[in-house]
Amino acid sequence: MTNETFNFSPRVELILANLKTVRNIKHALDEDGQENFKKFLEHINNELNKRLPELQSWKYEICTNKYMGIYYYLGDDWKVIKDDYICIFVELAYNSEILDDDDPWVGLYVPQPEDWKQSKKFTEELNKKLPKGFIKYWEKPDSDALLWQWVKFEDYEKEGYFDTSGFVDKVEELVSKLVKIKDIINSSIKKVRR
């Protein structure tokens, strides 16, 4: 019988060598994560309402189910199908999975074309009306996020702590840009409803 050894890949080796810590991290996120992120969303909402007074008149929902985030919309004017709105969305996590590769993002959510038949027409109308150069700041449009930008957690890791102020500042910057085009969004919604 030979005495061969097996070598794990470096990443798996690192996890196995630190399994107790990895399990503690996962357990902490499972146990406390959702409640902490709900409180963080409430903090973000409070800060945005202080910093962007116009946002105080908007409707909002803090969600902690499938999409962990905040929806901002101008009431029924932005309702385009039953129970779905065009909205500014601040998403921290999908399915409450902070450890997944999906990063937080801020953007303009538009219902999927299969759900809202006017989605493509709205997108075309909005793009025609946006200020010159506005679109260059944002990532490539997604099927349900026309204008969006990452706000990566790891960009706010500062020597062993998380820079919540810096993170909220970036969220504010992006939400502010979208709030400034609310009239363009309104007129685009009205145009496709005709």
Q: Could you read off the pLDDT of 131-160 as tens digits, one per residue?
A: 877 877 677 766 666 688 889 889 999 988
pTM for this predicted structure: 0.83
The residue whose two tokens read 């349900």 is 144
Rounded mean pLDDT of the chain?
87
| Whether the predicted pLDDT of 100 surpasses 70 | no
- Bridge partners of 88, per DSSP, are 72, 108
pLDDT of residue 134: 80
Listed by start position, the domains of the chain span: 10-193
DSSP string, 146-193: EEEEE--GGGGEETTEE-HHHHHHHHHHHHHHHHTTHHHHHHHHHHHH
| Whether the predicted pLDDT of 72 surpasses 90 | yes
Query: Higher model confidence: residue 101 or residue 116?
Result: 116
The residue whose two tokens read 């008149």 is 57
pLDDT of residue 183: 94
CB-count exposure of residue 193 (10 Å: 0-12, 13-18, 19+): exposed
| Whether the predicted pLDDT of 65 surpasses 80 | no
